[in-house]
């Protein structure tokens, strides 16, 4: 069954969607959307480095994404507003990454494959990495769910309950880096943030509790992966962007109906 | 029995010292209010007590196994986060539906269980925060300007609820407040803070302390009028005489 490239692509897409959904909910609730972007853009530098040193792309992207996420966490609240800091870090790491890639003479790199993903070339090994990473992220978030939620609502409440909200922030940061690293192959660095945010945002108008929002987001993400791949096959469009397009259309549809029912039209 | 002891506490942010040499203690069952002008370190003191701020000197000790109920100054529920009152009540502790309903009733807001947090009015929201803090049967309740944003009637009835909670459960209460007039009448003890403890004692003692008057002046008439008339102080009021 795994011999078919479409099957492998579909499984890879679903794996990323399942990891991205609960994490994406926290990204949306904590208004960290740009944080996801910055971490993802930094990953292109990781790709360049891993190609230069002939490491696994997954590992290189993971390390650089992690360094980026930790740097932003440490630097925040030291003179620059968060969005300024992220804007500087995200785009400069993307630029450094692109410049670094150009130095890699001798290796022909299909940059597009890393910017927009190359889901149709997912191998069995890639599948293991993607599902392993997804399982790790989901396990972390399920384990810390209640603490993450409390820390998201109010830091002092977390302290008064007896745990450190900074540690919970670190768990989210770590999960984000892992998700970015496994999603590069599927949607590429430019669209990872979309996989985080769009399914979660689309789930908002349907959900009445944080838990259902995460589950609905996972369902929307998984459906987008399947439907996006299918339409990419039928219309011969790029796979990663097609997945994001499906998610965006779902977002528009659900938000519109949600808005209509709330305003009583 | 002493629940929380603060000894020689100093808190510094960078080069800026916000608290210096603060000593205080909270006994079981008492209502203590911290008053002080903006920037006097009230919130820093509370943050140090719950462990959110590391002291630069001194320390805070809690009775072993002390259960703290915390009511934050304001809690922002992002519009993108769907959460019902019932779910919010179970945020930090596993409790039954009946206990949730009982805690809400005790806080004066029954029948809100199924509402979304984002739909509550300011007064309802603060009472839900109070109910959540009480659900674990805390030994001490900490309130950080819990009535901010409520109108005078709303905050007066909120403080009445606090008093009722103490009567029923016997839990101690430590609160920060700006609303001197309400607070002074609801407290057993008042601590006046301005980077250090200026003065402390019963509301009447603090209200007449020169340190307190130097901070709040006599313009806060309501607070002082509750306890005494203003004929016996000797501040410089020549500008008033000229009027």
Q: Give per-residue pLDDT as tens, A14-50.
A: 999 999 999 999 999 998 888 888 888 888 888 888 8
DSSP helix/strand/coil, B61: strand
Calculate the average pLDDT of chain A. 87
- A209/B91 CB distance under 8 A: no
For the record, the structure tokens of B212 come out as 């307190």
Residues of chain A above pLDDT 90, percent: 43
Does residue A102 sit at the B interface (CB-CB below 8 Å)? no
Considering only the beta carbons, identify the residue of A149, A155, A212 that sits closest to B91. A149
The candidate with the shortest Cα–Cα distance to A221, out of A239, A246, A257, A240, is A246
What per-residue confidence (pLDDT) applies to A225?
A: 94
Greatest Cα pair distance, chain B, in angstroms, is 66
- Comparing CA positions, the residue from A35, A9, A12, A6 lying closest to residue A196 is A35
Q: Residue A180 and residue A178: Cα distance in Å, rounded?
A: 5
Which residues does A155 contact at the CB level (< 8 Å), separation at least 6? A165, B52
Query: Token pair for residue A98?
Result: 């692109």
pTM of the model: 0.85
pLDDT for the residue numbered A105 = 66
Tell me which residue in A30, A160, A209 faces B87 most closely, judged by beta carbons: A209
- Contact map slice: A 203-232 vs B, CB within 8 A: 204, 207-210, 212-213
Name which of A156, A160, A210 is nearest B81 (Cβ-Cβ).
Answer: A210
Of B124, B136, B4, nearest to B70 by C-alpha is B136
CA pseudo-torsion sign B91, B92, B95, B98? negative
Q: What is the pLDDT of residues A119-128, one digit of tens each?
A: 888 889 999 9
User: Which phi and psi (to 5°) does residue A216 adopt?
Assistant: -65, -40
Lowest mean pLDDT among A86-95, A226-235, B121-130, B227-236: B227-236
How far is Cα of residue A258 from the mean position of the Cα atoms in its chain?
A: 25
Q: Which positions of chain B have pLDDT values less than 50?
A: 221-243
Rg over alpha carbons for chain A, rounded to the nearest Å, is 18
Residue A1 has pLDDT above 70, yes or no: no
Q: How far apart are CA A224 and CA A240, in angstroms?
A: 10
User: β-strand B197-201 against B57-62: which pairing, if any?
Assistant: unpaired
User: Which residue in the set A29, A159, A162 is minimally distant from B81, CB to CB?
Assistant: A29
pLDDT-derived band at A231 (thresholds 50, 70, 90) equals: very high
CA distance B35 to B4: 18
The answer to whether residues B190 and B204 touch, using CB atoms and an 8 Å cutoff, is no
Cα-only R_g, chain B: 19
N-term to C-term CA, chain B: 52
What residues contact residue A98 under an 8 Å CB cut-off, 6+ apart? Answer: A44, A48, A111
Q: How remote is the C-alpha of A123 from its chain's centroid? A: 20
Is the Cβ–Cβ distance between B48 and B34 less than 8 Å?
Answer: no
Distance from CA of B49 to the nearest CA of A (A): 9
pLDDT of residue A107: 61
pLDDT at A75: 78
Measured at the CA of A224, the angle between CA A220 and CA A229, to 5 degrees, comes to 160
ipTM: 0.81
Tell me the residue ranges of DSSP E strands in chain B. 2-13, 16-27, 31-35, 57-62, 68-71, 140-144, 172-176, 189-193, 197-201
B191 in Cβ contact with B200 (< 8 Å): yes
How many beta-carbon contacts under 8 Å exist across A and B? 66
Cβ atoms of B199 and B192 within 8 Å: the answer is yes
Whether B80 and A29 lie within 8 Å, measured CB to CB: yes
> B49 near B193, Cβ under 8 Å?
no
Q: Which of A202, A211, A221, A216 is nearest to A149 (CA)?
A: A211
pLDDT per residue as tens digits for the range A144-164? 999 999 999 998 899 988 888
Residue of B nearest to A28 (CA): B80
The string of pLDDT tens digits covering residues A167-217 is: 898 899 889 999 999 888 888 888 888 999 999 999 998 999 999 999 999
Token representation of residue A52: 């230069």
- B75 and A153 in contact by Cβ < 8 A? yes
Chain B residues with CB-CB distance to A under 8 A?
47, 50-52, 68-70, 72, 75-78, 80-84, 87, 91-92, 116, 142, 144
Burial of B20 from C-beta contacts in 10 A (0-12 / 13-18 / 19+):
middle
């Amino acid at each position: 069954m795994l011999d078919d490239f479409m099957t492998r692509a579909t499984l890879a897409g679903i794996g990323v969607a399942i990891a991205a959904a609960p994490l994406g909910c926290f990204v949306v609730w904590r208004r960290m959307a740009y944080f996801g972007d910055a971490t993802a853009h930094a990953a292109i530098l990781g790709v360049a480095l891993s190609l230069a040193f002939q490491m696994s792309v997954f590992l290189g992207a993971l390390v650089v994404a992690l360094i980026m996420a930790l740097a932003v966490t440490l630097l925040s609240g030291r003179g620059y507003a968060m969005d300024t800091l992220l804007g500087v870090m995200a785009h400069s790491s993307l630029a450094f990454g692109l410049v670094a890639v150009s130095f890699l003479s001798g290796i022909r790199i299909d940059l597009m494959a890393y910017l927009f993903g190359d889901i149709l070339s997912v191998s069995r090994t890639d599948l293991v990495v993607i599902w392993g990473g997804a399982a790790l992220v989901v396990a972390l978030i399920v384990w810390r769910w209640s603490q993450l939620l409390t820390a998201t609502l109010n830091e002092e409440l977390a302290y008064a309950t007896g745990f450190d909200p900074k540690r919970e922030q670190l768990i989210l940061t770590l999960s984000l880096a892992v998700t970015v690293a496994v999603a590069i192959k599927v949607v590429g660095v430019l669209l990872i943030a979309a996989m985080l945010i769009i399914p979660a945002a689309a789930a908002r108008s349907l959900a009445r509790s944080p838990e259902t929002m995460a589950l609905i987001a996972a369902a929307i993400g998984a459906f987008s992966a399947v439907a996006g791949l299918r339409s990419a096959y039928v219309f011969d469009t790029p796979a990663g962007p097609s997945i994001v397009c499906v998610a965006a259309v779902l977002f528009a549809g659900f938000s519109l109906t949600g808005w209509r029912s709330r305003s009583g039209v | 029995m002493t629940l929380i002891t603060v000894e020689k506490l100093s808190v510094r942010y960078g080069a800026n010292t916000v608290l210096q040499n603060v000593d205080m203690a909270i006994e079981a069952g008492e209502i203590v209010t911290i008053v002080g002008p903006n920037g006097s370190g009230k919130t820093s003191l509370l943050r140090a007590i719950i462990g959110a701020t590391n002291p630069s000197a001194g320390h805070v000790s809690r009775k072993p196994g002390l259960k703290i109920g915390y009511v934050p100054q304001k809690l922002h529920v992002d519009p993108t986060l769907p959460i019902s009152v019932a779910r919010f009540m179970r945020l930090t502790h596993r409790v039954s539906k009946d206990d949730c309903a009982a805690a809400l009733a005790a806080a004066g807001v029954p029948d809100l269980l199924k509402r979304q947090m984002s739909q509550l009015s300011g007064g309802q929201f603060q009472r839900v925060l109070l109910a959540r803090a009480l659900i674990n049967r805390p030994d001490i309740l900490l309130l950080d300007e819990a009535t901010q944003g409520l109108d005078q009637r709303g905050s007066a009835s909120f403080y009445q609820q606090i008093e009722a909670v103490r009567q029923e459960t016997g839990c101690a209460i430590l609160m920060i407040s700006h609303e001197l007039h309400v607070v002074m009448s609801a407290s057993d003890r008042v601590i006046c803070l301005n980077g250090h403890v200026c003065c402390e004692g019963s509301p009447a003692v603090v209200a007449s302390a020169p340190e307190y008057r130097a901070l709040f002046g006599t313009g806060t008439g309501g607070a002082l009028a509750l306890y005494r008339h203003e004929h016996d102080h000797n501040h410089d009021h020549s500008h008033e005489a000229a009027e």
